[in-house]
Amino acid sequence: MAKLFETWSLDREIVLVKLLNHRREKVFAAWMDPKALAEWYGPAGLSIETHEADIREGGVWRFDMVGVFEGKEQRFPNLMRFLEIVPNERIVMDYGTPDPDDPDRFRATVTFDEQTDGKTVLTMRQLHPSAKRRQVVIGFGAVEYGLQTLDGLAAWLDR
């Protein structure tokens, strides 16, 4: 799996960017606090149920995204493994399901770029295992869901 992510490839990449009206220390802190993450993370209409939260290099966040569709509750299991955390600058993680052999796991890199006016540009880069998988992810709405997640972060920070 590690070999897969050694070379960055644009045909496997999704990039999401959000300008946030807060200093990068505050934005970064929202990623480091498991309680905060569960409040803002995920697409609109889904809630987060955390099962394990060890947010540090080498740690994991295991959670379900929970929603009601056609009157029935559905759960989407997720696992983030934190590979690198540089305070107020960068978070690198592998993201997928809790299945250790998840073939669709992708690498995510979040950067925090503070602007001179005290705002922060947050950039989330996803590197998927193949160009085909990237297209599947885009097809089921991952770009829109990712932007909803960043909107949720903005709303949480503004409270």
pLDDT at 71: 94
E-strand ranges in the chain read 13-20, 47-53, 60-69, 72-86, 90-96, 106-114, 120-127
User: DSSP readout, 8-25?
Assistant: --GGGEEEEEEEESS-HH
Can you state the angle between helices 142-158 and 24-32, rounded to 10 degrees? Answer: 110
Per-residue model confidence (pLDDT) at position 143: 96
Cβ neighbours of residue 57 closer than 8 Å, sequence gap 6 or more: 82, 83, 84, 85
What residues does each domain of the chain span? 2-158
CATH number of 2-158: 3.30.530.20
Question: Distance between CA atoms of 42 and 155, rounded to whole angstroms?
Answer: 13
Q: What is the mean pLDDT of each run of 10 residues along the chain (159 residues)?
A: 58 97 98 97 96 97 96 96 98 96 96 97 97 96 96 97
